[in-house]
Structure 1
Amino acid sequence: MADKEKSGNAFVETVKTIVYALVIAGVFRTLFFQPFWIPSGSMKETLLIGDFLFVNKMAYGYSYASCPSLMLPSYGIEVDARDVCGSFDGDNTRLWGGEPKRGDVVVFRHPVSGRDYIKRLIGLPGDTVQVKQGLVYLNGEPVKVEDAGTFTEKMTAQGPQRLRPRCENGPVGEGGSCEKSRQTETLPNGVSYPILNIANQQSDNTGVYSVPAGHYFFMGDNRDNSADSRLAQQVGGVGFVPYENLIGRADRIMFSSAGRSMLFFWTWRGDRFFKGVE
């Protein structure tokens, strides 16, 4: 009888430990840092497919979007941030809110789909943004760009989704050298970063966007391979992103895997451990 009681108590203690661990992890993820795995090439070369980073949630304060979502559709699990913290949605404000800076790399919640996106903040509330022949104009003035050579990567399937890169140098065979023109773009506040060009396309020439109060305009660094604020939410883009939809700032890459899984340690990129995001 005593052995059964000990066994029962041990089981209860194990369950308690697991529950406490999950609660602590949930609180940590909600208030401090959220892990983020880069699934696409829209932010190359700043962020590569397979980069694993933590998002600083303290940078901009907290809103309903700070609550974690758990999306595992293959297991029938789809817990959205609105399911947990939806009662705080709708006023476009934040608790202990901090203002994002132009040039920040930000994880935010898509205004329609609710999925997490990561892009660079280009336009602040009250700004006008336009793209002409691939060049960004902020408030009527062209953003400074300088040629920075060529970005080269291997033509091969990348990441769990096995995505293949687009190349400026035309169709490239398996294992070949996929090239894109690289430029350094410098925003009015002095933030500089590389941007890539693949082709002359519709998103290189846009109308004038007037960023409304309480909203932000985002673009991917891989300009011709990014669904961002240049496209309306209804046609696959993100449009203007409300302040309350910001989740946090990407500050540092912890490690990076060039393979199908972060568990494949032999595919880890040794030069990206603890690399700062600029």
Structure 2
Amino acid sequence: MKDKLLHEAREWFFTLAIFIPAFYIFSFLIYEQRVIPSESMVPNLQVGDRVAVNKFAYGYSRYSLPWGAWRLIPSGEGRVLGGKPERGDVAVFMHPHTDRVMIKRIIGLPGDRVQMIDEQLYLDGEPIDREFVRRITYNPKGRRRTVAREYRETVGDTSWLTHDWQQGPDEFNRLDSTPEFVVPEGYYLFMGDNRDNSEDGRSLTGHCPENAQGVVDRAGCSLPRGISAEDASVGFVPAENLIGRADTVLFSTYSCSKADAEPCMKKRLWRGL
């Protein structure tokens, strides 16, 4: 009996000694799974979606290391084998001011001029194509029942769906119209698809002050007085902070009973983004 237990323990040891490093290397170099924790990317991502994150799409930085191992690597700049993100990508990244992993859509590339005017997104001074799709009634996380207008936004050959609430919370209504943002070289501007339920790159709390012309065009400043790192928005996100591109919803624990949505989104299984 003792010999059998030792044999079993030895087999488990060698199995784990092979499996754990292999899984870690796979998660570092190829794909890792992330769970959607909030409603900021509704309607394209729902709370409970399990998303496959493509790690080689943008190359690698210290934030590519899974399971918090990036904390062991000194801070630096740049990426190894870095690919170029594209506008419209849904990307996973490290919040520039805290140790929170975020997922939002890349709207502004380096050099872009980005602005919101009365809920309309402008790029380089021109409104992007925006088509009304439908109205959806839902009750997000215990808030009062509300109606969202669903739009399809299109830039070039890329399009995505967004939600604007007819009566959004006051803290997000202020993001319907913003100053102009000029994205610095080496940085990106992110927005959530659920525009009235996303604290993202439109919020000034994570940005440098506006210049004399009222334009936000710098990055790397200290946070405004009275704003803690936990309360700050993502501001402009450095290229180093990119973790990967969210490619596929593997499966979801989302249910209509949780969201109380009409019409209800169907559960997703292996659906591309």
Q: Normalised by the size of structure 2, how large is the TM-score?
A: 0.80
Cα deviations by residue, 1:89-120 (Å, 9 ceiling, x for unpaired): 322x1111100000001011111212111101
Quote how far apart the aligned CAs of 1:258 are. 2.1
Q: Which residue of 1 aligns with 2:226?
A: none
From 22, 27, 30, give the equivalent of 2:20: 22
Indicate whether 1:274 and 2:270 are aligned.
yes
Quote the Cα distance in structure 2 between the aligned partners of 1:107 and 1:216.
12
Quote the Cα distance in structure 2 between the aligned partners of 1:54 and 1:270.
19
Indicate whether 1:204 and 2:176 are aligned.
yes
Indicate whether 1:186 and 2:154 are aligned.
yes
Quote the Cα distance in structure 2 between the aligned partners of 1:142 and 1:135.
7
Quote how far apart the aligned CAs of 1:81 are. 3.6
Q: Which residue of 2 aligns with 1:221?
A: 193
Cα deviations by residue, 1:202-224 (Å, 9 ceiling, x for unpaired): 01111111111100000000001
Q: Which residue of 2 aligns with 1:35?
A: 33
From 93, 97, 104, give the equivalent of 1:119: 104
Quote how far apart the aligned CAs of 1:5 are. 4.7
Quote how far apart the aligned CAs of 1:9 are. 4.1
Q: Which residue of 2 aligns with 1:100?
A: 85
Quote the Cα distance in structure 2 between the aligned partners of 1:21 and 1:109.
27
Quote how far apart the aligned CAs of 1:270 are. 5.8
Quote the Cα distance in structure 2 between the aligned partners of 1:66 and 1:38.
18
The 5 Å alignment of 1:62-101 reads 62-69=60-67, 80-84=68-72, 86-87=73-74, 89-91=75-77, 93-101=78-86
* Stretch deviating more after TM superposition (139-148 or 11-20): 11-20
Give the alignment's Cα RMSD to 1 decimal. 1.9
Q: Which amino acid aligns with 1:110?
A: H
Quote the Cα distance in structure 1 between the aligned partners of 2:66 and 2:150.
35
Q: Which residue of 1 aligns with 2:50?
A: 52
Quote how far apart the aligned CAs of 1:152 are. 3.3
Quote the Cα distance in structure 1 between the aligned partners of 2:69 and 2:125.
37
Quote the Cα distance in structure 2 between the aligned partners of 1:126 and 1:81.
32
Indicate whether 1:248 and 2:244 are aligned.
yes
For structure 1, list consecutive stretches of 5 or more residues without a partner in the other structure: 70-79, 157-162, 173-177, 260-268
Q: Secondary structure of the equivalent of 1:204?
A: coil
From 10, 13, 27, give the equivalent of 1:12: 10
Q: Which residue of 1 aligns with 2:132?
A: 147
Cα deviations by residue, 1:55-110 (Å, 9 ceiling, x for unpaired): 011111111111013xxxxxxxxxx24323x23x322x111110000000101111
Indicate whether 1:135 and 2:120 are aligned.
yes
Q: Normalised by the size of structure 1, how large is the TM-score?
A: 0.79
Quote the Cα distance in structure 1 between the aligned partners of 2:190 and 2:157.
17
Q: Secondary structure of the equivalent of 1:30?
A: helix
| Deviant stretches of 4+, over 6 Å | none
Quote the Cα distance in structure 1 between the aligned partners of 2:266 and 2:115.
38
* Stretch deviating more after TM superposition (226-235 or 241-250): 226-235
Q: Which residue of 2 aligns with 1:72?
A: none
Q: Which residue of 1 aligns with 2:221?
A: none
